[in-house]
Every structure is written in C-alpha cells, then in structure tokens.
Amino acid sequence: MALKPNLLIILMAVAIIAPVLVEAQQGLLGNLLGLISINGTVFCTVDGNIGLNGTSTPVFPNALVQLQCGAGHIVASATTNSSGQFSIALNPLLNILSTLLSNCSLVVKTPLSTCNANLPSVGGLISSLKFVRTTLVGLLNIAEIVPASFQFLPLLN
C-alpha cells in the first residue's frame, strides 16, 4: 500500500517539473543544456574552399584547425579527418555566441604543401565564422556555426 502514495508523489513531481524544464530552455537552463558546434570541411586548394568543379575538389586530411579569438588566443582545436572535415564543440557557458562570431576565426595551421606539393609551404588559411541555425535535439540546444570562407594568408604561421 505504501507504493501508491510514492508513485503519486513521483507523478505529481514530474507534472510540475516538466513544464518548468521546457520553459527554462529559453533561460539559464537552456544555456546549461546547450552546445556550440563549429563544423566544416577544408579543401586542398590555395584558398581551402571547394573548387569550381565541386565534388572533384580534393580535401585536406590531417590539417590542424584552430579556433582563435582576440589577438590569436587559441580557444579550441581539431584535426580534419580523411574527408577533410573537422568538428569543434564548445560550452555556451564559457563561450558567448556573439563574441565567437565577431571576435574569432578559424585558422588552418598545417601548410598547404602537406596535401599538395604544388601549393605554398609557408602561410595558412583563415576564415571568419558564420552562424547557420539553432537545432533542438531533445533538451539539448545546439548552435551550429561554419566557416564563412577560407582565405590564404602568406604570412600566417
């Protein structure tokens, strides 16, 4: 008989807490259950972007990609996979989205000659960031960011 009152208390608690959780996604709890995801592909071209011929553009595997903010402060880094893709996940409590978009860049530190000997061995690629969308996955709110467009800088290293 003691099981029925406990079950009733649990059901009442869930009924009270569930709407609060849904509403809180817009406030502080949304930040606690959030994620900033920076994803992209680096191509093995002089500017790191997909070429005019599209799918036949080679990718840049094993390239070091750094998220740098302010005066070159490295916030996070990733290495591209065999498909040239990278992914960086950030905590929104430690990284403000508007600051990332206005004050940070993605920098490819690996020389382009690593993927193609005909490309420069000095310099690197840099891109500003572009917000794409926010996706809700269960209670997790994911802000999706991509490189705006890479550019080659001969003095970057």
* DSSP labels, 56-72: GSPB-TT-EEEEEETTT
Element (H, E) at 15: helix 3-24
Look at residue 21 in the predicted model and tell me its pLDDT: 47
Q: Look up the pTM and report it.
A: 0.73
Burial, 119: exposed, middle or buried (Cβ in 10 Å; 0-12, 13-18, 19+)? Answer: middle
The encoded tokens of residue 153 equal: 């800088």
Domain ranges of the chain: 1-32, 33-153
pLDDT digits (tens, 9 = 90+) for 37-52: 999 999 998 888 777 7
Considering only 7-16, 25-34, 90-99, which range has the smallest mean pLDDT? 25-34
CB within 8 Å of 54: residues ≥ 6 apart = none
> Looking at the domain 33-153, which fold is it?
Immunoglobulin-like (2.60.40)
Look at residue 48 in the predicted model and tell me its pLDDT: 80
| Confidence grade of residue 156 (pLDDT, cut at 50, 70, 90) | low
> Which of these, 101, 130, 97, 87, lies nearest to 30 by C-alpha position?
97
**8-state DSSP, 91:** -
| Confidence grade of residue 36 (pLDDT, cut at 50, 70, 90) | confident
DSSP bridge partners of 74 = 68
Can you tell me which residue has the tokens 């553009």? 57
